[in-house]
């Protein structure tokens, strides 16, 4: 950071008003954009990217969030081997693969980082979005990692926690990105069928296809202070409708007033809040019987043999098959 001159005056101590009010130093990467308070890198890390003076929440990377939430900063990655490809050969100002490589150079391999961890001693699975990776956009890899995180939560019989921060679906993947909205919702159906909770933390910004899919389906929904939560941002709406919106449109505090979120939680308090919530929701893990096992127990041995050769089906379809099984046997 470049050094800047500092103006010091003792006129106020002598009882004289200063001839000219000293100007504040202009903001930089080490100052708060809201109150212009300056801080050191150590202070920034200690406060988890939150201004100690005014509470402004800076963007925070997915791995830093996981380190902050997990007991002892220990967590096990899920789906790290997955990488984005370029199925549409998309090119705008630069080819899509080059954008991916530039984003990966910042430290992440995708806009969603998933991990298995413990919070206050309670096992859970977390899926954390990173706005620093192509605006947190949701592409095919994001959808697949989210689905694997939900599957792992079902295997462990534990809650799934997600922290969202995204501009929406990734335009470079076109309709394949939009398909991830449906894919993530189907994954949550599996979680719901297993009787497991889904906890959402909405960070700034949560917009577009992410808000229109899994981010709005939490059993418990928290939001960080000042987070923008809307399908379209206020500038887009104003330019489209030619109408002036309220200054707090879509912000977390406004969403709380309208009942769209359950609580606005300071990031520094989030691990403790999540830990308390997980203790309340804790239930002993229960095995999820396979479709083949249920059919065999029902006396449908032939159908059970077929089911063993099929991929895993959703619980709803499973219940439908089991419900129709005895009728077919009776015929």
Q: 39-67, pLDDT tens digit by residue? A: 888 888 889 999 988 999 999 999 999 99
User: Could you tell me the two tokens for 288?
Assistant: 């999820």
Residue 251 bridge partners (DSSP)? 228
Q: 201-230, pLDDT tens digit by residue? A: 999 999 999 999 999 999 999 999 999 999
Asked if residues 202 and 223 have their Cβ atoms less than 8 Å apart, the reply is yes
Average pLDDT, the chain: 85
- Contacts of residue 36, Cβ cutoff 8 Å, sequence gap at least 6: 24, 25, 27
Q: In terms of pLDDT, which residue wins out, 170 or 292?
A: 170
d(CA 22, CA 13) in angstroms, rounded, equals 15
> Rg of the chain's alpha carbons, rounded to an integer?
24
What angle (nearest 5°) sits at the alpha carbon of residue 225, between those of residues 78 and 200? 35
Confidence band (pLDDT; 50, 70, 90) for 241? Answer: very high
d(CA 214, CA 183) in angstroms, rounded, equals 9
Q: 252-297, pLDDT tens digit by residue? A: 999 999 999 999 999 999 999 999 999 999 876 565 555 555 555 6
Confidence band (pLDDT; 50, 70, 90) for 7? Answer: low
Confidence band (pLDDT; 50, 70, 90) for 328? Answer: very low
The pLDDT score that the predictor gives to residue 317 is: 58
Classify residue 93 by burial, with Cβ atoms within 10 Å: 0-12, 13-18, 19+. exposed
User: Could you tell me the two tokens for 59?
Assistant: 């963007």
- Contacts of residue 171, Cβ cutoff 8 Å, sequence gap at least 6: 90, 137, 177
The pLDDT score that the predictor gives to residue 153 is: 96
Q: 94-141, pLDDT tens digit by residue? A: 999 999 999 999 989 999 999 999 999 999 999 999 999 999 999 999
| CA nearest neighbour of 111 among 155, 41, 156, 162 | 162
Q: 246-260, pLDDT tens digit by residue? A: 999 999 999 999 999
Confidence band (pLDDT; 50, 70, 90) for 315? Answer: low
Domains of the chain: 59-281 (3.90.226.10), 291-330 (no CATH)
| CA nearest neighbour of 160 among 123, 193, 185, 211 | 123
* Cis-peptide, bond into residue 205, ω within 30° of zero: yes
């Amino acid at each position: 950071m470049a050094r800047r001159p500092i103006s010091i005056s003792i006129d106020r101590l002598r009882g004289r008003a200063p001839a000219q009010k000293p100007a504040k130093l202009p903001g930089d990467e080490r100052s708060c954009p809201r109150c212009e308070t300056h801080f050191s890198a150590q202070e920034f890390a200690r406060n988890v990217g939150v201004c100690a003076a005014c509470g402004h929440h800076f963007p925070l990377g997915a791995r830093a969030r996981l380190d902050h939430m997990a007991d002892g900063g220990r967590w096990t990655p899920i789906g790290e081997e997955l990488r984005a490809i370029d199925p549409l050969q998309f090119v705008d100002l630069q080819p899509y693969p080059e954008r991916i490589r530039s984003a990966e150079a910042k430290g992440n391999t995708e806009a969603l980082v998933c991990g298995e961890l413990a919070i206050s001693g309670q096992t859970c699975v977390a899926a954390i979005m990173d706005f620093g990776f192509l605006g947190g956009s949701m592409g095919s890899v994001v959808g697949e990692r989210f689905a694997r995180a939900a599957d792992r939560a079902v295997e462990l019989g534990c809650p799934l926690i997600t922290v969202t921060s995204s501009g929406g679906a990734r335009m470079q993947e076109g309709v394949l990105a939009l398909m991830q909205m449906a894919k993530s919702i189907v994954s949550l159906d599996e979680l719901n069928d297993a009787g497991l909770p889904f906890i959402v933390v909405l960070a700034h910004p949560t917009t577009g296809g992410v808000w229109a899919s899994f981010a709005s389906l939490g059993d418990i929904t928290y939001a960080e202070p000042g987070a923008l939560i809307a399908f379209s941002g206020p500038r887009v709406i104003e330019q489209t409708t030619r109408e002036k919106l309220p200054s707090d449109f879509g912000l977390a505090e406004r969403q709380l007033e309208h009942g769209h979120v359950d609580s606005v939680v300071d990031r520094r308090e989030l691990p403790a809040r999540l830990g308390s919530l997980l203790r309340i929701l804790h239930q002993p893990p229960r095995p999820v019987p396979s479709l083949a096992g249920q059919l065999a127990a029902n006396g449908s041995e032939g159908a059970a043999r077929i089911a063993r050769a099929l991929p895993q089906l959703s619980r709803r379809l499973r219940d439908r098959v089991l419900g129709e099984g005895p009728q077919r046997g009776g015929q």
